[in-house]
Structure 1
Amino acid sequence: MKFGKEFTSQMVPEWQGAYMDYEYLKTLLKEIHLFKLKTKPPQLTTNSHGLTRRLTLYRAFSGLTQRNTTTPRVSPSTNPDIESQPILVNSVKKPDGEFGLETMFLMTSDEGGEYELVYFRRLDDEFNKVIKFYRGKVDEVMKEAAVLNKQMDALIAFRIKVDDPHYEWPDSAKEMTRLASDVAASTASLAASTPGLKASKRVTVMDMIEEEISLEAQLDELSADREKGKREDEFIQELKEINSKNYDDKKVDSGNRGVQEELKPLNSKRAKRPAPLEILNHVIINNTLETPRSSIRGILNVPNQAELKFSKENLNKVEEQLKCAFVEFDHKLRLLKSYSFLNIMAFSKIMKKYDKITSRYASKSYMKMVENSYLGSSEEVVKVMDRVEATFIKHFSNSNRKKGLSILRPKAKRERHRVTFSLGFFAGCTITFIFALVVLIHARRLLKKEGQEQYMVTMFPLYSLFAFIVLHMFMYAANIYFWRRYRVNYPFIFGFKEGSALGYREVLLVAFGFAVLALASILANLDMEMDPKTGDYQRFTELLPLGVVVLALVIIVCPFNIIFRSSRFFLLTCAFHCICAPLYKVALADFFLADQLTSQVQAFRSVEFYICYYGSGGYAHRDSSCSSNDMNRTFHYIVAIIPYCSRLLQCLRRLVEEKDGMQGLNGLKYFATIVAVTTRTMYSRSRDSTEWYIIAWAASGVAAAFGTYWDLVLDWGLLQRNSKNRWLRDKLLIPHHSLYFGAMILNVLLRFAWLQTVLDFQVSFLHKQTLITIVASLEIIRRGIWNFFRLENEHLNNVGKYRAFKSVPLPFHYDEDEDKEG
């Protein structure tokens, strides 16, 4: 793979604009190359046979020629004469106070020098952009590291209070002074006895919280020195000088363990550094867990309990939150390290291309300045990464390095062959079952049987539920495929745990597996005639649709780690938040799922039909009275508006919390849709009513126009007149603009699929239930198209704000004012 493609593939998607514009610099180099070809075209040479050929531009052999030349060209690094150097790179202070590089091109008098001058100016702009972004991000992580330091201080103190509730901060100043003087004396004697030993620098950021006294840390340091080559007798002698004691020869021979035994008297009152327990006076535990109870308390202005409760339960919650914070922080550090490495590599590659095209030696001097700059020489990120790793391993994995790193840096999810194999197997079974179903219907002439009408009224609504679910999963799998292709960071947008996001193969596997169960159930119950003796259908086969639904629900709520448990539980959590919409803080995944449910109105009605059909007990003889039952008709209205009500309540919650007027307008859109669905349902029940006909037309037209405008302008960010891409956005992921216009037109057409309900379209060769299913499927397809462009717009908003990390709530809240006073 060429470096340009590798460079693009390794970018952090949300930081694309902050990376060096490698492709643009390549175009500038191509212009320089074309100019040189025009002004100095390759010469033609004639061999002994009279044939002419061009001098090759590749694999040129120049070693012998350079050896024989009397005035060889010298690299700027070896020639002190400034006139022989093509560039001069200086560090300058910008008007905004930032330092950057400024390259002076010294060969402007050469032919085509103006092209090279433009190249170096753009190169400097790119470098200054990169270094400014990098410095800003490093400052952010250093501030975050300081915050995590305080959180760790509070955690250690909290642990001690949980382990020993009666533990108090030592009151004896003399005892503290004595311990401090012992440590100071030990350090001084160590420095005096080992002049070659460097004094360790004080680590101010992400310093690992030591629970042992300083002498133990010194022993660890001396152990490291001994591993580097120091003789054992010198090491033991240093320990003797530190502690001013005579050690028993047997204990000395036992190495560190013997030394630890001799140090026990010094640590008799506690072998731990006194924990800063007074820090607990300045902190409270953040109530980060969102529950319906906390929401109600917030509405009623009931103050939350701020008193610290030193219990195991609270300690586990605090540790779990800090674990998540450390994992996210380490991920941020690794991305910053990758950002620095990739950009330095890009500058090196582009300068080598420049040298090759112009036959100059500018890359060495330029890269020397790059490596000496903040981007190349700064070690803050690497040091903090080491401290984060050491802290996490010690305090969250019981010093088990392998376990700690597996949590801190989980391995990337690999594609498994068994997933591909299973996907192919179930896809083949699905195609086979569909073929068998078509053959059976035609061979047995089931469409002309007397029981065909009753089958379509009762059984078809049951099986159409499976079609809706499978179609929606197919659309979601297609969304994932194209999100990945166009580098939309959907796991970050949805908030999936690292490594738990499903790929399109996994989603298709689940979809085809469910389709196989549904089709097998249909084939087993493809019976149009009842038993003439009993007047009933076979009870076992009539229960098959219900069995498939129950099996699917059991798999979804299964607590065992099978069939993508993390994804199932994530779905259940979002669904529960949708049900309790106003009582939970609304995340993107929550309202995204609620939007999906608004396109599954017919599926909700199928579920309601399941309850009525099997609850009444008339399934054995396919009783179709549910469609005419008054209670069922009432629920027919209610079920249709449930998803829209959930979405409306989410908008109201966001309006109150975020004080965003657009959320109020969004809620008004869903309210208009509720009115439209209700009026259309009422009209479908009373076809002869002119009043309901007019009301349904008006309400549906307003809701469709409102929803279409919201989709195209606000959710997709399109229809912008002043955009550089006319009627689209300034930034687009898909290079073919016609796809955006096609999607907009299709969205408008599918938005008005409700016309079938009002105008009562009838197709001679389609049953009414079949037509309802087709219209509902078109809405699901519209939603699938909406999904891609909705997340594309969200991703581009993140890119514009360089938002690549999710905010992780911290367990402790510091009272800064009290902290300063203390």
Structure 2
Amino acid sequence: MKKSGDYSPSTFRSGLLLMAGTLFAIQGLVYASDRLGSSEVSEQVRTSYLLQIYGGYFLIVFHVLLFCLDCMIWTKSKINYAFVFEYDTRHTLEWRQLLEIPSFFIFLMGLFMWLNFSWMNSMYIYWPVVLIGLSVSIVFLPARVLYHRSRKWFAFSNWRLLLAGIYPVEFRDFFLGDMFCSQTYAMGNIELFFCLYASYWTNPVKCNSNHSRLLGFFTCLPAVWRAFQCIRRYADTKNAFPHLLNLGKYIFSVLYYATLSMYRIDRQTRFQASFITFALLNAVYTSVWDLIMDWSLGNPYAKNPLLREVIAFRRVWVYYAAMVLDVVIRFNWIFYAIWSHDIQHSAVLSFVVALSEIFRRGVWSIFRVENEHCTNVLLFRASRDVPLPYEIPDVPTPGLDGPQSDDVQLQEQQHVATPFLQPADIEQGAATTSSLRARNRRPSAGIIRVGTIVASAHAQDFQRRRLPTYMSNASMSHEIHHTPDDSTDEDEDVALTTDDDSGSIADAAHEESQLPPTERQSPTMRRIVE
């Protein structure tokens, strides 16, 4: 496996592209503000709608940029996100390499904004078409260039999300679905984009949120995808909790965006009460789910109150800050209710609310993956340490061959009485120990059971993909290996050969399992023979 090298060129290119794109975008916005103050009404209208299209494009790229920063935080904190996302460790991009992608698209956006608003010509309304067409062509380009394996992985992940409910739900599926749930502004821009260019900009007002029901449908679509994923998880596991409860959360999200669309379309504000009701229920529901389920926080018996027993970040205050920030931004819908005189809501207000939601999702991603990593460590699916090349004999437990002492029995009772910290229900994993402070509090059995179920619910959101033998061993024993995405075809041939070898190894293991116990080889002897 290739070792990670010097990523200074990637850092230099990312910084150069980010700076150039930012400068072009700022200059383009200055020109656009002059166009908005023009005496010609048609020029004002066209410029305002062009800015909305660029705004949706920016939110998508900004979201990817936040994900790159999240990868940097996970890397610095030794959080094995490559294992959580089940990346192919042979071709995983290092976060500095990944940063080149949003940096390049920010440069493209800034350049096209500068070209678009610098002067009026026949191409004035068609620059966004060229930008979006070029961006889609680059992302889904089938050629073996520009990190083609990563682009292929991303394209196939979007395909799995589009057909949500048909494919088994892996971590990347529901994670990407949640990312789309924060991109409602960009999803609504799909309708706006095609509506404007289908009518040749003859009547742009008809494409607004106060006239188009199709725009409301596109904003509901990400929540519908996630709802289908919850149904698929329930069909696969038959566990009503947490999948049906999670399904209810996304049903409330659909009702929230549907009533918001009706509230904007109806000028008499007949749907104001229903919008506020479903928006409040959705905000409370999702806030509690974020903190208790996705982040597994809120344990009053933990060493740090209202957190969890095992945390990956050293600074405890970041958890409390994230909890407050998440709840506050979840209630950003209040701005729609406050400005009731503007039922259709200005494009600036919608953009600011969407931008705050993107930022909240970036923070949510940090702690969601961190929570999953801590669970993997507890269940011995991942480790920060490299395993030894030999086995360590088990230490004999006192009292196995005879009656247990009172101290041992007392310790076992105190261990059982620890809520929120026994993930024995997580995919049949092993139970973990807790702190002395939690042991001395001895809550009731009902609290123990509820706390255990709640703390382990986040691990049931997805189905872990079965990797080949060599892949799973490499992922569990190695923390994070970042390799450039420029391997040759010989690497793929080696991978295919290894897959065949892993199958033969599995067959040999099965044949050996049929032998009597006395004829089987110990793991140490088998390693020596090999």
TM-score (norm 2): 0.69
Q: Go from structure 1 to structure 2 and tell me whether the alpha carbon gap of 1:753 and 1:456 turns closer, same or farther (over 3 Å shift).
A: farther
Match of 1:655 among 222, 234, 238: 234
The yes-or-no answer on 1:772 pairing with 2:350 is yes
How far apart are the structure 2 equivalents of 1:445 and 1:681?
29
* Deviation of 1:438 (Å): 5.2
Match of 1:719 among 267, 273, 298: 298
Amino acid at match of 2:379: K
How far apart are the structure 1 equivalents of 2:155 and 2:104?
20
How far apart are the structure 2 equivalents of 1:472 and 1:504?
14
Percent of aligned positions with the same letter in both sequences?
25
1:19-168 aligned at under 5 Å gives the runs none
How far apart are the structure 2 equivalents of 1:709 and 1:494?
24
How far apart are the structure 2 equivalents of 1:426 and 1:512?
5
Q: Go from structure 1 to structure 2 and tell me whether the alpha carbon gap of 1:735 and 1:625 turns closer, same or farther (over 3 Å shift).
A: same
* Deviation of 1:707 (Å): 0.4
Name 1:669's counterpart in structure 2.
249
Amino acid at match of 2:307: L
Amino acid at match of 1:800: L
Q: Go from structure 1 to structure 2 and tell me whether the alpha carbon gap of 1:808 and 1:698 turns closer, same or farther (over 3 Å shift).
A: same
Contact 2:53–2:193 at 8 Å: present in 1 too? yes
Q: Deviations over 1:737-766 (max 9, x none)?
A: 221111111101110111222332689xxx
Q: Go from structure 1 to structure 2 and tell me whether the alpha carbon gap of 1:501 and 1:762 turns closer, same or farther (over 3 Å shift).
A: farther
Name 1:569's counterpart in structure 2.
152
The yes-or-no answer on 1:412 pairing with 2:29 is no
The yes-or-no answer on 1:608 pairing with 2:195 is no
1:146-295 aligned at under 5 Å gives the runs none
Match of 1:483 among 74, 79, 85: 74
Match of 1:640 among 219, 229, 234: 219
* Deviation of 1:446 (Å): 4.8
Q: Go from structure 1 to structure 2 and tell me whether the alpha carbon gap of 1:797 and 1:816 turns closer, same or farther (over 3 Å shift).
A: closer
Name 1:800's counterpart in structure 2.
378
Match of 2:22 among 431, 442, 458: 431
Contact 2:142–2:148 at 8 Å: present in 1 too? yes
The yes-or-no answer on 1:498 pairing with 2:89 is yes
Name 1:759's counterpart in structure 2.
338
Name 2:176's counterpart in structure 1.
593
* Deviation of 1:412 (Å): 2.2
Q: Deviations over 1:258-280 (max 9, x none)?
A: xxxxxxxxxxxxxxxxxxxxxxx
The yes-or-no answer on 1:538 pairing with 2:117 is no
Q: Structure 2: 5+ residue runs without aligned partners?
A: 384-464, 469-501, 516-530
Between 1 and 2, higher relative CO (CA 8 Å, sep ≥ 6) is seen in: 2
Q: Deviations over 1:341-396 (max 9, x none)?
A: xxxxxxxxxxxxxxxxxxxxxxxxxxxxxxxxxxxxxxxxxxxxxxxxxxxxxxxx
Amino acid at match of 2:155: L
The yes-or-no answer on 1:732 pairing with 2:317 is no
Amino acid at match of 1:737: V
Contact 2:36–2:44 at 8 Å: present in 1 too? no
How far apart are the structure 2 equivalents of 1:591 and 1:717?
17
How far apart are the structure 1 equivalents of 2:39 and 2:107?
26
How far apart are the structure 2 equivalents of 1:438 and 1:462?
13
Q: Go from structure 1 to structure 2 and tell me whether the alpha carbon gap of 1:730 and 1:557 turns closer, same or farther (over 3 Å shift).
A: same
Q: Deviations over 1:771-802 (max 9, x none)?
A: 21111111110100000000000000001011
Amino acid at match of 2:370: E
The yes-or-no answer on 1:686 pairing with 2:277 is no
The yes-or-no answer on 1:525 pairing with 2:116 is yes
Amino acid at match of 1:637: G
Q: Deviations over 1:95-115 (max 9, x none)?
A: xxxxxxxxxxxxxxxxxxxxx
* Deviation of 1:518 (Å): 1.2
Name 1:466's counterpart in structure 2.
57
* Deviation of 1:591 (Å): 0.6
* Deviation of 1:501 (Å): 2.4
How far apart are the structure 2 equivalents of 1:762 and 1:477?
39
SS in 2 for 1:650: helix
* Deviation of 1:628 (Å): 5.6
Q: Structure 1: 5+ residue runs without aligned partners?
A: 1-409, 529-536
How far apart are the structure 2 equivalents of 1:653 and 1:440?
49
Q: Go from structure 1 to structure 2 and tell me whether the alpha carbon gap of 1:520 and 1:449 turns closer, same or farther (over 3 Å shift).
A: farther
Match of 2:37 among 437, 447, 468: 447
How far apart are the structure 1 equivalents of 2:128 and 2:95?
27
How far apart are the structure 2 equivalents of 1:426 and 1:773?
24
Amino acid at match of 2:183: Q
Name 1:787's counterpart in structure 2.
365
How far apart are the structure 2 equivalents of 1:741 and 1:628?
39
Q: Deviations over 1:542-574 (max 9, x none)?
A: 211111111111111112222211111111111
The yes-or-no answer on 1:709 pairing with 2:277 is no
SS in 1 for 2:306: coil
Amino acid at match of 1:483: W
Amino acid at match of 1:666: N
TM-score (norm 1): 0.45
* Deviation of 1:445 (Å): 7.2
The yes-or-no answer on 1:745 pairing with 2:336 is no
How far apart are the structure 2 equivalents of 1:725 and 1:816?
46
Amino acid at match of 2:49: T
Q: Deviations over 1:93-141 (max 9, x none)?
A: xxxxxxxxxxxxxxxxxxxxxxxxxxxxxxxxxxxxxxxxxxxxxxxxx
Contact 1:471–1:777 at 8 Å: present in 2 too? no
How far apart are the structure 1 equivalents of 2:269 and 2:219?
21
* Deviation of 1:609 (Å): 1.3
1:268-417 aligned at under 5 Å gives the runs 410-417=1-8
SS in 1 for 2:212: helix
Name 2:430's counterpart in structure 1.
none
Amino acid at match of 1:610: F
Contact 1:465–1:606 at 8 Å: present in 2 too? yes
How far apart are the structure 2 equivalents of 1:700 and 1:599?
15
Contact 1:521–1:545 at 8 Å: present in 2 too? yes
* Deviation of 1:668 (Å): 1.0
Amino acid at match of 2:160: H
* Deviation of 1:665 (Å): 0.6
Q: Deviations over 1:563-588 (max 9, x none)?
A: 21111111111111111111101100
Amino acid at match of 1:605: G
* Deviation of 1:541 (Å): 3.4
Which of 1 and 2 has greater Rg?
1
Name 1:421's counterpart in structure 2.
12
* Deviation of 1:504 (Å): 2.9
Contact 2:188–2:216 at 8 Å: present in 1 too? no
* Deviation of 1:637 (Å): 2.1
Contact 1:581–1:650 at 8 Å: present in 2 too? yes
SS in 2 for 1:583: coil
Name 2:471's counterpart in structure 1.
none
* Deviation of 1:512 (Å): 2.0
SS in 2 for 1:591: helix
How far apart are the structure 1 equivalents of 2:331 and 2:264?
17
Contact 1:680–1:758 at 8 Å: present in 2 too? no
CA RMSD after TM alignment: 2.8
SS in 2 for 1:676: helix
How far apart are the structure 1 equivalents of 2:23 and 2:10?
20
How far apart are the structure 1 equivalents of 2:126 and 2:28?
19
How far apart are the structure 1 equivalents of 2:40 and 2:158?
42
How far apart are the structure 1 equivalents of 2:3 and 2:142?
24
